[in-house]
A = this chain, B = another copy of it.
Amino acid sequence: MAEPLRLGIAGLGTVGSGVVRIVQRHARMLESRAGRPVTISAVSARNRDKDRGLRLNGYAWEDDPVALALRDDVDVLVELVGGADGPAKAATEAAIAAGKDVVTANKAMLALHGQALALAAEARGCAIRFEAAVAGGIPVIRALGESLAANEIQRVMGVMNGTCNYILTRMQSAGLAYEEVFREASDLGYLEADPTLDVGGIDASHKLAILAAIAFGTQVDFDAVDLEGIERITIDDIRAAADMGFRIKLLGVAQMTGRGLEQRMSPCLVPASSPLGQLENAMNMVVLEGDAVGQIVLRGAGAGEGPTASAVMGDVMDLARGRRGPVFGQPAATLARAQPASSTVPAPYYLRMALLDKPGALARIATVLGEAGISIDRMRQYSHDDPAAPVLIVTHKTRRSALKDAIAAMPATGVLASDPVAIRIEEV
């Protein structure tokens, strides 16, 4: 019989428990598909006594994930501890130093230390696999790095934080304010301990930075992501966007431009009828665009025990089958350092403003836009009881810098009742 592939699982939270359950439930199936048994030698977690509803008595226990990684009976470290630094990174580095492969779901660690870890792993001939780090069960890392390996990637985008998508779609469907839905999501346990990781777009940006590295052959560069969360999205914007045929999504976009690599994570308007516009609740969606394949859309659960454990085990199965390769699709030493470019790709914008009820108010705003070189595609002024008139404008494509200039010039018109809201419309 072929040698088993022996796992050491660090972290027995939701995902780690899911991995243990799959290995136990499907031992025979995994063996017949991989051509060898996949077994667990040892596990590690913070609290040994916690009842996880798992049979763990067949496995050795290590309090320290580094000791787990170094065990002689562990071939692959499955790192599910989380956190960019600390024990997760220490265990990963220890595994690599010992010449072992690593499977991880840790987007923060890869987004911040991916290049260094990849260099270390490749120097030792080790693999680091991380399908579970981006969009849970959706096989986007494999699709991008393997299936589309013969494409020049043009754009990668996606809704990659289920909690934000839940909040935005719930605001829309229930007509509730951001604060109310935030509280609901918190009560449901949907939010990270530090909720800015979710609603501030940080978690999703980690994922975007990882995808960009694979897509464009560049060193992962989280700090270069132009980042804006969903905290300032109001129910008024959700309603106004819907009225113009759009949905608001926390959308990550990475594309290579003439000026460098643009990575943006921000609320965007997308057509309500597009696949992204129709994405409801906590689902994730990733859109890949390549010069040969055109557009590929992948949709699935972006989190949760089953989907994330499925992705971890997909990577484990690859290693069991002897499929290995560079961490980011090509050797880390050959990855270019990308020039970060901030939003140079022109786009239409949505502008919501409240104008004072003065004669010529709209004309003055239109003049300011015109002077900044921005032309208007659509405009709606709504009837109102307030002294201020709600006005929506959809512009033709413009650069964000031009829009910033126009917005900066608007207060001088004396017709604004409040600060205008501008949201990019992404063509999807």
User: Which residues does A use to contact B, with CB under 8 Å?
Assistant: 18, 22, 26, 29-30, 32-35, 131, 137-139, 142-143, 146-152, 217, 273, 275, 278, 290-301, 304, 306-307, 309-311, 313-314, 316-318, 321, 323, 325-326, 329-331, 334
Chain B contacts for A326, CB-based, 8 A: 35
**Contact A309 B292, beta carbon cutoff 8 Å:** yes
Q: Tell me the smallest distance from the CB of A1 to a CB of chain B, in Å.
A: 14
Tell me whether chain A's interface is mostly helix, strand or loop, or mixed.
mixed
CB contact under 8 A between A137 and B294, given known A32-B334, A35-B330: yes
Q: Which residue of B lies closest to A314 (CB)?
A: B147
Chain B contacts for A294, CB-based, 8 A: 137, 300-301, 304, 306-307
Q: Measured between alpha carbons, how far is A326 from B320 in the docked complex, in Å? A: 13
When all copies of this chain in the complex are counted, the total is 2
**Contact A30 B150, beta carbon cutoff 8 Å:** yes
Counting chain B CB atoms within 10 Å of each CB, the highest count among A22, A300, A316, A334 belongs to A300
**Contact A149 B292, beta carbon cutoff 8 Å:** no
Q: Tell me the smallest distance from the CB of A23 to a CB of chain B, in Å.
A: 8
Q: Tell me the smallest distance from the CB of A145 to a CB of chain B, in Å.
A: 8
Q: Which of B138, B150, B313, B331 contacts A296 (CB 8 A)?
A: B138
Q: Tell me the smallest distance from the CB of A121 to a CB of chain B, in Å.
A: 15
Q: Measured between alpha carbons, how far is A149 from B310 in the docked complex, in Å? A: 8
Q: Which of B32, B35, B306, B330 contacts A292 (CB 8 A)?
A: B306
Chain B contacts for A297, CB-based, 8 A: 297-300
CB contact under 8 A between A146 and B152, given known A32-B217, A294-B307, A309-B292: no
**Contact A33 B152, beta carbon cutoff 8 Å:** no
Q: Tell me the smallest distance from the CB of A328 to a CB of chain B, in Å.
A: 10
**Contact A314 B138, beta carbon cutoff 8 Å:** no
**Contact B330 A150, beta carbon cutoff 8 Å:** no
CB contact under 8 A between A137 and B296, given known A30-B150, A325-B321: yes
**Contact A330 B32, beta carbon cutoff 8 Å:** yes
Q: Which residue of B lies closest to A142 (CB)?
A: B147
6 tightest A-B CB contacts, nearest first: A150-B313, A139-B147, A292-B310, A293-B310, A149-B317, A137-B293
Chain B contacts for A34, CB-based, 8 A: 149
**Contact A292 B18, beta carbon cutoff 8 Å:** yes
**Contact B146 A143, beta carbon cutoff 8 Å:** no
Counting chain B CB atoms within 10 Å of each CB, the highest count among A152, A293, A298 belongs to A293
Q: Measured between alpha carbons, how far is A316 from B151 in the docked complex, in Å? A: 12
Q: Which residue of B lies closest to A291 (CB)?
A: B306
**Contact B290 A310, beta carbon cutoff 8 Å:** yes
CB contact under 8 A between A148 and B296, given known A139-B142, A142-B142, A321-B325: no
**Contact A296 B290, beta carbon cutoff 8 Å:** no
Q: Which of B22, B275, B325 contacts A150 (CB 8 A)?
A: B22
Q: Measured between alpha carbons, how far is A300 from B300 in the docked complex, in Å? A: 15
Q: Measured between alpha carbons, how far is A334 from B31 in the docked complex, in Å? A: 12
Q: Tell me the smallest distance from the CB of A300 to a CB of chain B, in Å.
A: 4
Q: Tell me the smallest distance from the CB of A379 to a CB of chain B, in Å.
A: 29
**Contact B330 A33, beta carbon cutoff 8 Å:** yes
**Contact A292 B307, beta carbon cutoff 8 Å:** yes
A-B contact list, 5 entries, CB within 8 Å: A137-B292, A146-B317, A146-B318, A149-B313, A293-B311
CB contact under 8 A between A152 and B26, given known A147-B131, A217-B32, A330-B32: yes
